[in-house]
Amino acid sequence: MTDQTTGGQIIPAGRPAEEHVVETRRGMWGTGGGSGDTSGFGGIVRTVSRPAPSARPYGDWFDAVVDRIEELIPGVVERVVVHRGELTLYVDGARLLELAQHLRDDQELRFEHCASVSGVHYPSDAGAELHSVYHLASMTHNRRLRVEATCADGDPHLPSVVPVYPAADWHERETYDLFGIIYDGHPALTRIMMPDDWPGHPQRKDYPLGGIGVEYKGATIPPPDQRRSY
pLDDT in tens, 6-23: 443 444 555 554 677 777
pLDDT tens-digit series, residues 36-64: 566 667 778 888 788 889 999 999 999 99
Find the helix packing angle between 62-72 and 96-105, rounded to 10°.
120
pLDDT at 29: 58
pLDDT at 94: 96
Model confidence pTM above 0.85: no
Q: In the structure, what pLDDT confidence band is assigned to residue 199 with cuts at 50, 70 and 90? A: confident
How does DSSP classify residue 15?
Answer: -
CATH code, 50-195: 3.30.460.80
Lowest mean pLDDT of 147-151, 190-194, 226-230, name the range.
226-230
In this prediction, residues 112-134 reach a mean pLDDT of 95
In this prediction, residues 89-110 reach a mean pLDDT of 98
In this prediction, residues 157-175 reach a mean pLDDT of 97
DSSP per residue, 70-94: HHHSTT-EEEEEEETTEEEEEE-GG
For residue 82, which of 22, 144, 124, 9 has the smallest C-alpha distance?
144
pLDDT at 162: 98
Query: What is the chain's mean pLDDT, rounded?
Result: 85
CA atoms within 13 A on the CB side of 205: 15
Whether 188 has a pLDDT exceeding 70, the answer reads yes
Provide the greatest CA pair distance for the chain: 65
In this prediction, residues 112-136 reach a mean pLDDT of 95
pLDDT at 33: 53
Q: Per-residue b/e over 28-43, b at no fewer than 16 CB within 10 Å? A: eeebeeebebeeeebe
Lowest mean pLDDT of 25-29, 30-34, 98-102, 155-159, name the range.
30-34
